[in-house]
Structure 1
């Protein structure tokens, strides 16, 4: 490069039609030929975020990809309108690609640029493994298979299409599923209960009380995220630790949550925040004596980003793995694929993200309008295209 300043010259987009969620990837090109990749997947909004990338990329064309703080300001503050998760996904996709470029230009993996190695390896928890019938028997059998792979923690949503309240039979079924998973994995592995923002405060607390005997490591997103006071109330009264944060897309929302010192497991979503803000939020959580378990249930680049962030974060707790339970062809989307070994993983050690998009495989899986996860529709856990 001869010490010259890099300049962003173009941004390209690619959509991959995974049956349960269309994935959006970007590629940022520079005048020196160094390219970076990022992801902006948002359930139900792949085409929308893709349009936003192309609508806003003029703000960063000509900029140095090393200037990620200013790039973030241009894509968030300077737009002035609040585009929520759509705007956050756009920012994160572009900014992640810039970090990839920085790593390639310096010859360092991203986690080295974020503070270096804090852990020997990253403990993973499995998600998405329970595809199929919502019965205790199915959850039991699938949980056994996950344990056989070496995972020491499993997350699942036993609540079907529940919203706000449930009838007694559905309540009992959900608790029976939790009991079946605990029975399947034994006493020494963690089970994590996913609430998907489903319940009223009172319903959430009733479930928390009923599941406590099975010793979940956390009850995730038990109530909708918009009323932080509701999340705080559940967290303070629940016998099970509450985890949340994947819905928030700016530092201010985390500051509002953290000031109550009620939730201490924070599941920030790097794909709504970008890597720079994510690292800063990890520090905010650290200052509140909390731990981070970033949301990593989008596409494969998201998982790689979280691996780099987690490795460089002292207060890391657990890494979410959805990739192993997606479509079999997903392992060919990135080269080389990041692999979990006996329930743990390492971020790639190659420069930048350490992976590249396999555009030949990408081209085999076009966008489909029905590819999204309808969490309040009966049978959503089967993860079939709709």
Structure 2
């Protein structure tokens, strides 16, 4: 069995460009991967084609060998576009390997620790205009089955202020208390600060919400400062989470080895695929640090993230943008992870547990390219 053909699909929505690939072998098997990186899809697509050229004609099941070769000889560094290209190929190779042996990828990675993967919901807050409106949306989400919610008390990513004034901290603390009161103690809550605060403001916020029982506070301050995160954790007792902007186990090493956070958040796409994400998860386990994967992706990367969550003993919760990624998913996904209540149910299908209607995807794709070996 040898790698023979690459097909790249770009599907545009209002806010994202979903980049999905299919790698085919000479015996007709197809592996699926995803490298969604929003507006940077042209550089990711170019990187995928370059990586494919280095692998064509080879056995796809030597996944670790191919990952190391691509990282060292093709992509060279830890840039976002290069890692997303590597991730797409890595996922497709794992999918092919599972299908060739008739096994789900989680079996190839040592077997699942859990059959169900709990999630927290993001985007439930979309379009809110006030704290009262936010509370209404939170109560609706809980009524509809959500058991864990994350939001942005200093504003959404679309309207963040880069200078947070002192009064904004007290307003954000009040908002967290009001949401907690509205949804009750049985709903898990977490907040994302998106690196908007200096250390003193972050400490004031974390201390102010200490009695709200948050699962985590994400990126309260500059994500490249593990020292600041360690000080926050020690001084406030708040569990800090970060990692969505880190691209490799080397970048995670400083955060993990200093025990600066309670949770790391590797993205399957941003770190270069399952091969690297699993290693990051095991490194965190060494220091009793949990894993809550970053997952605002399309259906193939979601399947990969569910696989990652299933095999890590220190997994805590998976991010979900259910019903937001991508809007046309129901048109081309035949089989794939779907939320049942507040969790994904692990698939035992060979590969990553997702199948798509490629002709339909090609029909609705904004861009489609085919490369032969």
TM-score greater than 0.5 by the shorter chain:
yes
Q: What is the aligned partner in structure 2 of residue 75 from structure 1?
A: 70
After TM superposition, the structure 1 stretch with the greater mean CA deviation from structure 2, 356-365 or 337-346, is 356-365
Name the SS of the counterpart of 2:126 in structure 1. coil
Distance 2:231 2:74 in 1: 34
Distance 1:29 1:326 in 2: 25
Distance 1:136 1:365 in 2: 38
TM-score (ref. length: structure 1)? 0.88
Name the SS of the counterpart of 1:252 in structure 2. helix
Distance 1:86 1:361 in 2: 23
After TM superposition, the structure 1 stretch with the greater mean CA deviation from structure 2, 286-295 or 197-206, is 197-206
| Cα pair distance change 1:186/1:85, threshold 3 Å | same
Distance 2:232 2:324 in 1: 31
**CA displacement 1:280-333 (0-9 Å, x = unmatched):** 111111111121111111222121111111111111111211123446533334
Structure 2 contact 336–354 (Cα < 8 Å) conserved: yes
After TM superposition, the structure 1 stretch with the greater mean CA deviation from structure 2, 228-237 or 262-271, is 228-237
Task: Please state if 1:141 is matched with 2:136.
Answer: yes
Structure 2 contact 121–322 (Cα < 8 Å) conserved: no
Q: What is the aligned partner in structure 2 of residue 343 from structure 1?
A: 342
Q: CA RMSD in A?
A: 2.0
- Residue 350 of structure 1: how far off its partner (Å): 1.1
Structure 1 contact 109–352 (Cα < 8 Å) conserved: yes
Write out the 4+ residue segments of structure 1 that deviate beyond 6 Å after TM superposition: none
- Residue 8 of structure 1: how far off its partner (Å): 1.1
Q: What is the aligned partner in structure 2 of residue 383 from structure 1?
A: none
Unaligned runs of 5+ in 1: 1-5, 368-386
Q: What is the aligned partner in structure 2 of residue 371 from structure 1?
A: none
Q: What is the aligned partner in structure 2 of residue 63 from structure 1?
A: 58
Distance 1:332 1:353 in 2: 19
Distance 1:108 1:66 in 2: 13
| Cα pair distance change 1:362/1:170, threshold 3 Å | farther
Structure 2 contact 296–325 (Cα < 8 Å) conserved: no
Any residues of structure 2 matched to 1:1-386 within 5 Å, and which? 6-79=1-74, 81-160=76-155, 161-163=159-161, 165-272=163-270, 273-326=272-325, 328-359=327-358, 360-361=360-361, 363-364=363-364, 366=366
Distance 1:212 1:177 in 2: 13
| Cα pair distance change 1:358/1:164, threshold 3 Å | same
Distance 2:179 2:17 in 1: 29
Unaligned runs of 5+ in 2: 368-373
- Residue 235 of structure 1: how far off its partner (Å): 3.0
| Cα pair distance change 1:69/1:147, threshold 3 Å | same
Structure 2 contact 334–357 (Cα < 8 Å) conserved: yes
Distance 1:148 1:338 in 2: 22
| Cα pair distance change 1:62/1:361, threshold 3 Å | closer
After TM superposition, the structure 1 stretch with the greater mean CA deviation from structure 2, 129-138 or 89-98, is 129-138
**Aligned residue-pair number:** 362
**CA displacement 1:47-100 (0-9 Å, x = unmatched):** 221122123321211221111111111221223642511111010100100000
